[in-house]
């Protein structure tokens, strides 16, 4: 039986989500817990970490994964200007990059950040994304692997032991609570939670094997081996552990201090226009999420706003009914060219992953058989 969070509309189909006796999901429970957390103590912990790894010799103190969007830009800005760090910012070029994303990244760099852009072989990326799309129903799975593996690999190669990502989506949006009270995590956690390495049916390793690519071709998609890590420090963390995370505040900071620009129109499948504007495959990612689990980008966005106290649940329900699960018609030809698929082959993947308990195909489109309430 499918249920929705009584507070924020998260669905019971979401991976690793749990509900309490009130019917509140663990993201909403975390919202309540955050009000009683000693954030001063966590910030002190951050200061101590920064002091420990601050080199004071002109070397980089930490790595920050950025795309030019609001969250990574906010993290880099805070570390540099509030905590006195010398961050090296790293971007893994996404597949099908968009002009607005390029402009935002350029604006961010021009605000005074050291930056390296990793662009893996586009044909290798295409193969991994195609396999991920078919085998996992995940539109940019190859890029997601590189967002973890390539960043870790470069940090290790440059002898920078501390890596910052933005928010821990599992804790903030509903999922595993394993790291809510732990600052650091490791490569195994990355693989198991973010890349679903141990999920039934296979994840990370399955996609790499099915690609038929060599290790040399997949350099930026392979995590450092135990031998490569031997004798080297590596600490990975999310900035959201150290402060009450607020994505809208991040947007305002990034807009004022990092040159972030919004889209001139709302994004496909939601009511917002200021996030995830760097690549076209994001729209297919959210559509696939909708087909597999029954919730899409609007459900995620209204959940954030409800938990921020800026929207009622009733308003959220109305927005979900209006926008969630919008088919990304605008980009279909681009997707077909990228995956090197025919329309029939592409549609067959959608059919494969559509949740038949939640959707029925009518006139060539999967339509929900449920009503959000």
Containing domain of residue 51, as a range? 39-241
Whether residues 137 and 150 share a domain: the answer is yes
User: Which distant-in-sequence residues (6+ apart) come within 8 Å of 303 by Cβ?
Assistant: 5, 8, 9, 10, 27, 173, 174, 316
Whether residues 317 and 228 share a domain: the answer is no
Whether residues 75 and 172 share a domain: the answer is yes
Q: What is the CATH number of the domain that holds 150?
A: 3.40.50
Question: Could you say which of 210, 241, 272 is where a domain stops?
Answer: 241
Whether residues 349 and 225 share a domain: the answer is no
pLDDT given at position 203: 75
Residue 119 lies in a domain: yes
Write out residues in the chain with pLDDT < 70, as ranges: 56-58, 197-202
Whether residues 223 and 86 share a domain: the answer is yes
Whether residues 232 and 107 share a domain: the answer is yes
Whether residues 355 and 231 share a domain: the answer is no
Identify the bridge partners of residue 19 per DSSP, sorted by sequence position.
25
pLDDT given at position 57: 63
pTM, to two decimals:
0.95
Residue 124 lies in a domain: yes
Residue 20 lies in a domain: no
Whether residues 30 and 66 share a domain: the answer is no
Residue 336 lies in a domain: yes
Residue 50 lies in a domain: yes
Buried b (16+ CB within 10 A) or exposed e, 123-157: ebbbbbbbbbbbbbbbbbbbbbbbbbbbbbbbbbe
pLDDT given at position 1: 85
CA-CA distances (angstroms) from residue 298 to 118, 126, 244, 272?
31, 27, 22, 9
Whether residues 98 and 199 share a domain: the answer is yes
End-to-end CA distance of the chain: 14
Residue 14 lies in a domain: no
Whether residues 208 and 65 share a domain: the answer is yes
Measured distance CA(77)–CA(68) in Å, rounded: 12
Residue 58 lies in a domain: yes
Question: Could you say which of 211, 241, 271 is where a domain stops?
Answer: 241
pLDDT given at position 192: 86
Residue 357 lies in a domain: yes
pLDDT given at position 193: 85
Question: Could you say which of 241, 273, 303 is where a domain stops?
Answer: 241
pLDDT given at position 109: 98
pLDDT given at position 206: 87
Q: In what order do the strands lie in the sheet with 184-185?
A: 114-118, 87-92, 62-65, 162-165, 235-238, 184-185
Whether residues 54 and 112 share a domain: the answer is yes
pLDDT given at position 194: 84
CA-CA distances (angstroms) from residue 49 to 45, 53, 55, 164, 321?
6, 6, 12, 12, 44
pLDDT given at position 166: 97
Whether residues 348 and 327 share a domain: the answer is yes
pLDDT given at position 58: 66
Domain count, the chain: 2
Tokens of 293: 């689990």
């Amino acid at each position: 039986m499918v249920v929705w969070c009584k507070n924020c509309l998260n669905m019971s189909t979401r991976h690793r989500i749990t509900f309490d006796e009130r019917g509140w999901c663990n993201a909403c429970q975390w919202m309540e817990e955050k009000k009683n957390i000693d954030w001063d103590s966590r910030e002190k912990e951050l200061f101590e970490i920064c002091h420990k790894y601050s080199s004071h010799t002109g070397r980089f103190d930490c790595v920050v994964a950025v795309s030019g969007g609001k969250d990574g830009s906010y993290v880099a800005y805070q570390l540099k200007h509030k905590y006195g760090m010398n961050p090296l910012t790293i971007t893994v070029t996404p597949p099908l990059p968009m002009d607005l994303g390029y402009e935002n990244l350029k604006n961010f760099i021009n605000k005074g950040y050291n930056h390296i852009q990793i662009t893996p072989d586009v044909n290798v990326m295409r193969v991994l994304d195609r396999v991920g799309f078919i085998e996992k129903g995940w539109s940019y799975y190859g890029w997601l692997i590189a967002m973890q593996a390539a960043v870790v690999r470069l940090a290790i190669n440059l002898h920078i032991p501390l890596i910052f990502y933005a928010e821990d989506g599992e804790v903030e949006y509903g999922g595993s609570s394993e790291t809510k009270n732990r600052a650091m995590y490791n490569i195994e956690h990355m693989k198991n939670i973010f890349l679903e390495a141990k999920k039934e049916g296979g994840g990370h390793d399955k996609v790499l094997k099915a690609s038929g690519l060599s290790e040399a071709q997949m350099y930026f998609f392979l995590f450092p081996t135990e031998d490569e890590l031997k004798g080297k420090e590596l600490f990975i963390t999310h900035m959201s552990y150290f402060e009450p995370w607020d994505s809208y505040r991040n947007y305002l900071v990034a807009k004022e201090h990092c040159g972030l620009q919004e889209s001139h129109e709302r994004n496909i499948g939601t009511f917002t226009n200021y996030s995830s504007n760097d690549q076209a495959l994001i729209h297919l990612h959210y559509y696939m999420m909708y087909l597999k689990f029954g919730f899409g980008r609007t459900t995620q966005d209204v959940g954030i706003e409800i938990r921020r106290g800026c929207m009622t649940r009733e308003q959220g329900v109305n927005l979900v009914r209006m926008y969630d699960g919008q088919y990304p018609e605008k980009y279909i030809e681009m997707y077909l060219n990228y995956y090197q698929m025919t329309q029939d082959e592409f549609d067959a993947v959608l059919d494969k992953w559509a949740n038949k308990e939640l959707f029925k195909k009518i006139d060539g489109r999967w339509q929900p058989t449920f009503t959000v309430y």
